[in-house]
């Protein structure tokens, strides 16, 4: 099974079906990587598997916060070879006034944090805690408090805490951990929150393709260095 990638470096991208995750996936494949893409959107995953081909993309359909799914997927990916890069990109928003939040909103936002932890742990184990780069895509919401994003910010601050703790644990080793903090992106991420982020406002946000270029320029390069934090703000006009 190790020959299935034809010697390509292996990356895992969660939330690979649409938006920033798709743009990161497409660019990695264009650069010669094999991508294991993870998303709950089965229809879109089938499209990507056909588009990219089995020699460049393998689709995994499931909930990123489901531990059994994570462990099964990692075992199958590890059979292909050493995992070089994990991009924890999957997450779901919930933008509401402070008193409008309910337990379901908390659970929805926490899926990203839980998934980040599960995929990181499983990948670290599969790689023997060696020669791995983990990129945790969060949000500028992990760096400040925002009105009407109290629960979303809380979970993003949790993701930042986990990311910083991983950095401390693997300092001086061949495991590198990168925190990625983008501002607003012009994607369907806001489709359920257009009372808070209108479509007109959404379209002033960053282009996901351009953002993916900036992230990968800093994340994947031949230089003997690691950019440990990538904070990207959109231009205000």
pLDDT in tens, 63-108: 999 999 999 999 999 999 999 999 999 998 888 999 999 999 999 9
Question: Is residue 147, in this structure, part of any structural domain at all?
Answer: yes
Question: Is residue 201, in this structure, part of any structural domain at all?
Answer: yes
Question: Which domain covers residue 138, as residue numbers?
Answer: 2-232
Torsions phi, psi for 185 (to 5 deg): -120, 140
Q: 33 with 16: CB under 8 angstroms?
A: no
Q: Which alpha helices (H) appear in 56-207, and where do they start and end?
A: 67-78, 103-126, 150-169, 199-202
List the single range of 2-16, 33-47, 213-227 with lowest mean pLDDT. Answer: 2-16
Question: Is residue 153, in this structure, part of any structural domain at all?
Answer: yes
Residue 2 has pLDDT above 50, yes or no: no
Query: At 221, which CATH number?
Result: 3.40.50.720
Question: Is residue 143, in this structure, part of any structural domain at all?
Answer: yes
Total domains in the chain come to 1
- Render pLDDT for 29-73 as a digit per residue (tens, 0 to 9): 999 999 999 999 999 999 999 999 999 999 999 999 999 999 999
Q: Looking at residue 95, what DSSP letter applies? A: -
Question: Is residue 237, in this structure, part of any structural domain at all?
Answer: no
Model pTM score: 0.93
Q: How many other C-beta atoms are found inside a 10 Å radius of the C-beta of residue 199?
A: 10
Question: Is residue 170, in this structure, part of any structural domain at all?
Answer: yes
């Amino acid at each position: 099974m190790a020959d299935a990638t034809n010697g390509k470096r292996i990356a895992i991208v969660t939330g690979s079906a649409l938006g920033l995750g798709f743009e990161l996936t497409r660019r990695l494949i264009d650069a010669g990587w094999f991508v294991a893409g993870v998303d709950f959107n089965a229809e879109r995953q089938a499209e990507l598997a056909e588009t990219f081909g089995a020699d460049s993309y393998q689709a995994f359909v499931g909930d990123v916060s489901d531990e059994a799914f994570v462990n099964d997927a990692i075992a199958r990916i590890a059979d292909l070879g050493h995992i070089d890069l994990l991009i924890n990109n999957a997450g779901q928003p919930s933008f509401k006034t402070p008193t409008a939040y309910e337990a379901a909103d908390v659970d929805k936002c926490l899926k990203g944090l839980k998934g980040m932890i599960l995929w990181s742990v499983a990948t670290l184990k599969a790689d023997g805690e060696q020669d791995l780069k983990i990129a945790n895509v969060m949000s500028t919401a992990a760096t400040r408090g925002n009105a009407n994003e109290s629960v979303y910010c809380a979970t993003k601050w949790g993701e930042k805490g986990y990311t910083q703790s991983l950095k401390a644990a693997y300092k001086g080793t061949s495991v590198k951990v990168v925190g990625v903090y983008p501002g607003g992106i012009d994607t369907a991420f806001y489709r359920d929150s257009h009372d808070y982020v209108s479509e007109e406002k959404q379209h002033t946000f960053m282009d996901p393709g351009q953002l993916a270029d900036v992230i990968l320029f800093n994340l994947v390069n031949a230089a003997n260095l690691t950019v440990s934090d990538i904070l990207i703000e959109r231009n205000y006009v």
